[in-house]
Structure 1
């Protein structure tokens, strides 16, 4: 398992924060959140349109696809560029209580033909949540209990600083992080 983790960590280290693809002449900007920032609440579903303009590096980009908020979104920028969030393969989120009970994995299919965008099809599929919880335990993931709770309830407590501090203390996560960062610093300076 350690080789698998190291391979994935290396892959993530070398991955770009955003990228552009062109399909049948349609330019697509793809990022986790903003093209230059991988965190933050700027692109929540109910944000004002100017926030979404930041997804486009130029007016020549036609579509922006982003993730981060775990919520399916289809809207437009101020220049009428298409903005898509396909949702979350696993931790879907909605502020609306009844909709947040839908724990299915989400994705979107974007169809681009010779004339341009012909379809954006949002999908939801069931998956075995208990099997995912078992995997979290098997890989000894940090914060596994919170991870499993969010899969079952749709409630994320990643911003609960007091709770996270308690979990960090009980599991020694801060010292593990410091060791990891020291290792990374040595790796980068050699």
Structure 2
């Protein structure tokens, strides 16, 4: 038995990065895809990404925190208390106004956690913690004891041998306190590292696992180059909110999600609070 699996996450609306990752996976002869959450926002592409994911036909799809933000906000349930909430709400409004019928409901249906048996190994797959897809408990430099939470099996199921999570946008191979393996594929659309020389690598990051009868024969962290200028042009052809911030992110690799002062300027200049409030009112008519 031999199976080659592409594990990917954190696309964040970046079609150009996902296309490059997909082509690389074909070149590598991948048999199967596992998606570990955060498909849309803040990038401009919605249905094009959805069509490509449908083509990949992942056998694993788990719900990330940004998937939840899309669902909650597209249903008109996001408050406007913080600049970042306005950011999430207005971006999700864009998704809702452009998405194919049923897309948002499909995101809502994804589970937080999936287990898969491949050969002799049982994999536990979640965007972050098995029952919480947000927070910083699993930041890469945290204590191993934090990561042990990934190995709690669902009731009545066998022990987990290898845990896979995403969320922190860092590719990672490390061990729990009992030496079970923890993997993170990194981010397709928004890789991140606080160390400047490593932050410069803004290629699309994903992971290929080759599993045979003895275990993991190959663990390959792939960094695939793509045309970031093309992605900026795609954004410029849309009515994407915060378009300038997204294009800036293509240059710097930095996210501006929690830069309240900067977001407040955008929110005030483009009247994003009023736009989202009108969107919510229309949903209730």
Report the TM-score when normalising by structure 1. Answer: 0.85
1:142 matched to 2:241: yes
Question: Which stretch of the first structure deviates more once superposed, 162-171 or 115-124?
Answer: 162-171
Matched, 1:56 2:155: no
Asked if residue 163 in structure 1 is aligned to residue 258 in structure 2, the reply is no
Q: Measured at CA, do residues 170 and 7 of structure 1 come closer, stay the same or move farther in structure 2, by a change above 3 Å?
A: farther
Relative CO higher for 1 or 2, CA cutoff 8 Å, sep ≥ 6?
A: 2
Distance in 2, Cα, partners of 1:163 & 1:96: 23
* C-alpha distance in structure 2 between counterparts of 1:7 and 1:175, whole Å: 26
1:54 counterpart SS class: helix
Distance in structure 2 (CA, Å) of the matches to 1:75 and 1:11: 32
Instruction: Judge which range, 172-181 or 130-139, deviates more.
Output: 172-181
Residues 82 and 174 of structure 1: CA distance in aligned 2, closer, same or farther (over 3 Å): farther
Secondary structure of 1:119's counterpart equals strand
Residues 180 and 83 of structure 1: CA distance in aligned 2, closer, same or farther (over 3 Å) = farther
Closer, same or farther in 2 for the Cα pair 1:115/1:180, shift >3 Å?
farther
For structure 1, the 5+ residue unaligned runs are none
- 2:13 corresponding residue in structure 1: none
Q: State yes or no: 1:22 paired with 2:117.
A: yes
Aligned CA-pair RMSD? 2.4
What's the CA shift string for 1:23-76, capped at 9, x where partnerless? 113111112222222221221111111111122223811111111111111101
Q: 1:45 is matched with which residue?
A: 140
1:151 maps to which residue? 250
Q: 2:178 aligns with which of 71, 75, 79?
A: 79
- Kept in 2, the 8 Å contact 1:103–1:152? The answer is no
1:114 corresponds to: 213
Q: TM-score, normalization: structure 2?
A: 0.59
When structure 1 is superposed on structure 2, of 148-157 and 93-102 the one drifting more is 148-157
CA apart distance, 1:183 = 6.9
Alignment deviations for residues 145-176 of structure 1 (CA, whole Å, 9 cap, x no partner): 22222221122221212222222233333344
CA 1:20–1:143 in structure 2 vs 1: closer, same or farther (change >3 Å)?
farther
Instruction: Tell me which residue corresponds to 2:42.
Output: none
Looking at structure 2, the residues matched to 61 and 139 of structure 1 have their Cα atoms a distance apart, in angstroms, of 44
Q: How many residues get paired?
A: 186
State how far apart, in whole Å, the 2-side matches of 1:29 and 1:174 are. Answer: 39
